[in-house]
Structure 1
Amino acid sequence: MKNSNQQPINLRSIYQLLLSFLLFFIVSCEKETSEYTGKVADLKANKTMDAGPYEFPGGLVFDISATPDGSIMVGLNEFSGERSIKLIKNGEISTMIGLDVATDVQGVESIGAGNAFFTTAGTDLAATGELYRASKGRVRMVADLAKFERDNDPDAFEGLQWKNQQCEEEFTDNGDLVFSAGPQNNPYKLTAFDGETAIVADAAGNTVLQATIEGDVDWKAILTPPLNPEGEWMQLFETTDGNEDITCYVQPVPTSVAIGDDGYVYVGELTGATPEGLPVGLSRVWKMPADGSNMVCSEIDGSSECNVLIGGLTSVIDLEIGPDGLLYVVQFDSNSWLSSVVSSIPWAGGSIIAINTETGQVENEVATGLVYPGAITFDKKGKLWVLENKLFIGESAIVRMLDY
């Protein structure tokens, strides 16, 4: 039996996008890096070419979102601790609003020019992680997603109750506690029905949450583990709470959500670490009715309304409905997210594919060989923009229009 302090890299190693942006500075010392100093005032923008690339040195970017006036919102977390939403427009980078929040800005969703929903990162035992609305130069927390996780922890206590809280406990090699047994959350990407209701992918909670500006929160869906070749949930390790043996499973890790004009919500998953090898080909995109609630997305005894649209993917990090009605899916790296945090696993290139939302068939391979693509968005002219996390290869995060 494997004790919890001997477990391999698991879901909690991917806190805040697997903590990969921060772990980059710790575990990738064998990879070529460069100094990241300076303030966002030194941002570089190609003013003669609106398509970019636009560089964001000295900071982390998790998401981008197009606005109705043609701008591209960028959620920026500076290494200095300052956080803001930036705007790219007409070859310039400006500040839409500064953000006084406790943890990093993760998902960003435009709900109009100068207006946005955004999520903040979770911490141990779901101490933080909220939904905010920025509007007319003001910012307010509208839904306490962390409290919802602490009070409910749906993947442990609702639906199929597949995750035991003891499985969240994690220690360093020196025996120091990293994450505690108990509720864990990490609100990541989001989308919005309108200016009052948002849908959030909670990566550490393995849930899709629906929240309103009045503070109402409920779980829309719980995602369940991928299957092994025998058609059973894939086991990661075994542990104990001191009284009984506990089986811990590979975690699905929902990262991204999109709402289609067809009345369905689409959810992409990253997939946590597996007991052997890389988590390649295990990620799925789920399809569920937009008006549904309390659904269990499982290939074993799941809700009939929630089904796999496409499987066999690797490290899905973002979804977007294109102007052509196809679902655009971003895969972080073909060697999985582990290549961004483990120096011995080489970068192999990320990709964007376009999926038919009715058949689940790949209609178009939009781009390959991308450098850790983290997010995409379509501007008002239907042009596709991409965020590439080039800080992993010693450069800066960049945002650019994709020519395809």
Structure 2
Amino acid sequence: MSDPTTRQTPLLYVTAITALLSGCTPMPAPVVHQGTVVAQGLNGPQGVHVSADGTLWIADSGTGGPGTFTTPGGPGSTEPTTNNYGDTARLVRVSPGGVSTDVAMLPSVAGAEGAEGASRVADLGGKLYITSGHWSAGASIEQLPKTTALLRLDGNSTTEIANFWTFEKANDPDKQGADSHAYGLAAGPDGKLWVTDAGGNDLLRVDPMTGMIALVTVFDNLPNANPGPGVPPSSQAVPTGIAFLNDGAAYVSLLPGFPFTPGSSKVVRVASDGSKTDYATGLTMTTDLRTGPDGNLYAVELGEFGEQGPTPGTGSVIRIKAGGVKETVLSGLDTPTSLAFNQNGDAFITVGGAAAPGTGQVRRWDKLTTKAALTPSALSQ
């Protein structure tokens, strides 16, 4: 819903740049001969969660819909961008026996940045919560219901708990213009829900009982090493995943925007007073961050950005040990976006999150937390 080189959102705006570079639609996902398929036919899956009973929950972006509205064009453009919308985003449930069911349909908006809809799923107090949607200033219609919102699943329907667009319009914490994309979601040790606003570049905390939104911190733009024609001097931080260890701090992954320089992504430790320090650096296009049952952090890397956009088959999962030490435990993934663990250390990973509609999957890797780090020779094979 905004120009991808200026107002950054976490993931699917990458597909817009891919189309601009290649002059065609995003490349379809290749076959990945790894893991076991547990769900398929997805449209840009962005989040996955595993309940204690083994039920899998998937947040799917959707494909837009029959409705239309416009947003302002990018820098130097006088033509507005047309966006399509409809309730094609989904919360998908996969039973322990493998039966897939669409539990709730949610708004999906498809525009220059691809389709954006449901983002992440988390469990707090036995209730499921979902982050949903993206909205920015200048749209030709009012905000769509249940976009840029925190939703609670109540049976087969959803209830809006908090509206991040309302908060963003009133406060604009990063002072870069009103833009909000409720994306990362985690249940905190304080009994609150923690959300990364990838459009607003901030970390928020929500009281699930009252819907009250509190600002934890704002993430500043990150400088680009070689600014010049077509490359801005800095990129927005674009916070994505959130995870917690046992030290009372939140750990947040940042996916700095265009030109998506390899190694420019990182994980930041946010202390209880909101102060920030780098915890792990040298990552590339990090889309999610989770704590494994082994007590280590695991980061998902979308992949490398080449001349034709995201290069298929270059995504990875990185284990981050104490002190920010990194180990690659999975590679060769096609635009992975999210992961979740069960208590056995089995990993469930969404792939094809920035690929063609219908090619998205969730795959399972058994006992990933016990998998040895890949050696340089293994990575080159």
Identity, % of aligned positions: 23
Partner of 2:314: 349
Structure with the largest fraction of strand? 2
**What is the DSSP-based 3-state SS (H/G/I as helix, E as strand, rest coil) of the residue aligned with 1:155?**
coil
For normalisation by structure 1, the TM-score amounts to 0.70
Contact 1:72–1:379 (8 Å) recurs in 2:
no
Please state how far the C-alpha of 1:322 moved relative to its aligned partner.
0.7
Aligned to 2:123, which of 110, 125, 148?
110
Please state how far the C-alpha of 1:349 moved relative to its aligned partner.
0.5
Taking CA–CA contacts closer than 8 Å with sequence separation of 6 or more, which of the two structures ends up with the larger relative contact order? 2
- Are the structure 2 counterparts of residues 23 and 56 from structure 1 closer, same or farther at C-alpha, using a change threshold of 3 Å? farther
Q: Distance in 2 between matches of 1:391 and 1:217?
A: 30
Aligned to 2:248, which of 263, 267, 287?
263
Aligned to 2:351, which of 388, 392, 398?
388
- Per-residue CA deviations over 1:29-78 (Å, capped at 9, x if unaligned) read 6578579xxxxxxxxxxxxxxx7403432623111011111111111244
Partner of 2:211: 215
Partner of 1:361: 325
Structure 2: stretches of 5+ with no match in the other structure: 30-34, 66-86, 110-116, 372-381
The alignment status of 1:72 with 2:56, answered yes or no, reads yes
Aligned residues: 323
Structure 1: stretches of 5+ with no match in the other structure: 1-7, 36-50, 157-164, 166-181, 239-246, 296-304
**What is the DSSP-based 3-state SS (H/G/I as helix, E as strand, rest coil) of the residue aligned with 1:382?**
coil
The alignment status of 1:322 with 2:306, answered yes or no, reads no
Aligned to 1:373, which of 322, 326, 336?
336
Please state how far the C-alpha of 1:313 moved relative to its aligned partner.
1.1
| Deviation beyond 6 Å, 4+ runs, structure 1 | 22-27, 234-238
Partner of 2:167: 148
Aligned to 1:401, which of 348, 352, 364?
364
Q: Map of 1:83-232 to 2, 5 A cutoff?
A: 83-95=89-101, 97-101=103-107, 104-111=117-124, 115-125=127-137, 127=143, 128-156=147-175, 165=176, 182-193=177-188, 197-213=192-208, 214-227=210-223
Structure with the largest fraction of helix? 1
C-alpha RMSD over aligned residues: 3.3
Q: Distance in 2 between matches of 1:236 and 1:151?
A: 34
Q: Between Structure 1 and Structure 2, whose CA radius of gyration is higher? A: 1
Aligned to 1:254, which of 233, 236, 239?
239
The alignment status of 1:311 with 2:307, answered yes or no, reads no
**What is the DSSP-based 3-state SS (H/G/I as helix, E as strand, rest coil) of the residue aligned with 2:195?**
strand
Contact 1:237–1:249 (8 Å) recurs in 2:
no
Please state how far the C-alpha of 1:323 moved relative to its aligned partner.
0.8
